[in-house]
Amino acid sequence: MPRIRFNGITKTYGDHEVIKTFSADVPDNEFLVLLGPSGCGKSTMLRMIAGLTDITAGELEFDGTVVNGTEPKERDIAFVFQSYALYPHLTVRANIAFPLLMSRFKPYHHLPVVNTLMRRRVLRDPDVDAQVRRVAAMMELTDYLDRRPRTLSGGQRQRVAVGRALIREPSMYLLDEPLSNLDAILRSQMRAEISDLHHRVGKSFVYVTHDQVEAMTMGTRIIVLNEGVIQQYGTPKEIYDSPANTFVARFIGSPPMNLIRCRLDGRSLRFPDGVTLKLPEGCASPSAPDRDVLLGVRAEKISVAPSDAVASDTMPAHIIVSEYLGAETVVAFKLGRRADQTEQDTVAKHDLQQARIPGELHLTPGADFTVRLDLTNVSFFDVDSGERLPVAVPEATR
């Protein structure tokens, strides 16, 4: 619960259009990730879903009902913010129970002594206690319930913040970059915990991040956003394998997808340094013949061939940088032999390509080598617009 429908949602601040006709249908119980660079409008989208920010135009529907005018507290939503403010003077127990305390709050509870007494009474309530224990067990915080936040590690504090969002069992969870303050190990641990939580509670999650690893590992569906415009909406696999444009191709994947300019002539790919590769039988290619394209090849589809290999899928290249990572080595290279480079050929970043090769292969910067391109599953993009070109398997090779 629930199915979320974004119907042409637009948000403007003054004359700055921050979200531009955002439309998508998200089925029940998905883990939807809004992914994009800083400032692209992710938090604004999340705040509109929560009802904390007005929608300028368009409709937001939960299960077929337009909720544009619905108050935040009527939307049955839990929100975890990027900066998870815990109350330092309250115990973990009281921090987790806080939404329940608030729901029983009366105006006269503002008086300091009354406030403390009321809090103690609510926390002793068997129902509240049972709910706090359920959440604490889920977030592995049972042993910390009587501690104050400052005595906890960053990851434990983050779990308290998530736990606080879980106590009410809403129908939807909204999380805004909840892991960005954590170090790498805790981040990967919390990624697994949040995914696990999604499986256990079976509710809709909308998760905002600029981190493509979080999006790929946690999302059941991803919306890639740039400058308030949806670039692509799909499963992690669809987005990784078939990026809709060069922005998505470069934003997803580490290293990003290689984009190599070449001329497509029928089934041949002609590269600037005179090398011609042939697309293998039976694999799809854009139907419009004889045009310049950007060939998109993932780093793991490029391998090292014996240096004297001359085959229909190999090209000469030379190493610029080699990064040894243990299990694999990421090499940045330029196409063409080193000796053939002219003086003016400075190493511009855009014509460096990257390959992921086995860690035990040692390649020295400056050395010539031969790359083999797996052309069976490549992408083609328009040189000017950067849009993915539709492909088809030609009759003759089918």
Report CA dihedral (18, 21, 22, 23) to the nearest 10 degrees.
Answer: 170
* CA angle in degrees (0–180, nearest 5) for 304-305-308: 140
Neighbours of 246 (CB within 10 A): 22
State which residue, 36 or 255, has the beta carbon closest to ligand ADP: 36
The footprint of Mg ion on this chain (CB under 5 A) covers a number of residues equal to 1
Minimum separation from the CB atom of position 321 to ligand ADP (A): 31
Task: Please pick, from the candidates 29, 43, 314, 354, the single residue that binds Mg ion as defined by CB under 5 A.
Answer: 43
Euclidean distance between the first and the last CA atom of the chain, given in angstroms as a whole number: 44
Binding test (CB under 6 A) with ligand ADP, winner from 33, 35, 44, 131: 44
> What is the smallest separation between the CB atom of 55 and ligand ADP, expressed in angstroms?
13
Does the protein bind ligand ADP through residue 42 (CB under 6 A)?
Answer: yes
Residues 350-374, buried b or exposed e (16+ Cβ, 10 A)? eeebbbbbeeeeebeeeebbbbbbe
Segment interacting with ligand ADP (CB under 6 A) among 1-9, 36-44, 332-340, 375-383: 36-44
* Contact partner, 41, from Mg ion, ligand ADP, none, Cβ < 5-8 Å per class: ligand ADP
299-308 burial, b for 16+ CB within 10 Å, e for fewer? bebbbbbeee
| CB count in 10 Å sphere of residue 241 | 13
- CA 34, 37, 43, 48 torsion-angle sign: negative
| Minimum gap (Å) between residue 393 Cβ and ligand ADP | 39
Stretch that binds Mg ion, among 41-49, 103-111, 118-126, 278-286 (CB under 5 A): 41-49
Shortest gap between Cβ of 222 and ligand ADP (angstroms)?
Answer: 14
Main-chain phi, psi angles of 154, to 5 degrees = -55, -40
Short-list 142, 291, 217, 203, CA closest to 1: 203
| Residue 18 binds: one of ligand ADP, Mg ion, none (C-beta under 5 to 8 A by kind) | ligand ADP
Q: Which is nearer to ligand ADP, 40 or 215 (CB)?
A: 40
Q: Which segments within 36-171 are labelled E, that is strand?
A: 57-62, 65-66, 77-80
Alpha-carbon gap, residue 197 to 191, rounded angstroms: 10
Whichever of 40 and 122 has its CB closer to ligand ADP, that residue is: 40
Residue from 6, 32, 41, 297 that binds ligand ADP (CB under 6 A)? 41
| Under 8 Å between Cβ of 375 and 277 | yes
Least Å distance, CB 333 to ligand ADP, is 34
| Stretch of residues binding ligand ADP (CB under 6 A), selected from 42-50, 64-72, 351-359, 382-390 | 42-50
Residue 165 binding: pick among ligand ADP, Mg ion, none (C-beta 5-8 Å cut-off by kind)? none
Is residue 13 near ligand ADP by the rule CB under 6 A?
yes
Interaction between residue 43 and ligand ADP (CB under 6 A): yes
Nearer CB in complex with ligand ADP: 209/285: 209
Q: Cα separations (Å) of 382 from 29, 84, 195, 247, 385?
A: 36, 43, 36, 12, 6
Among the residue ranges 31-39, 156-164, 213-221, 333-341, the one whose residues contact ligand ADP (CB under 6 A):
31-39
Distance from C-alpha of 131 to C-alpha of 128, rounded to nearest angstrom: 5
CA triple 255-261-267, angle to 5 deg: 110
Binding site for Mg ion (CB under 5 A): 43
Binding site for ligand ADP (CB under 6 A): 13, 18, 36, 38-44
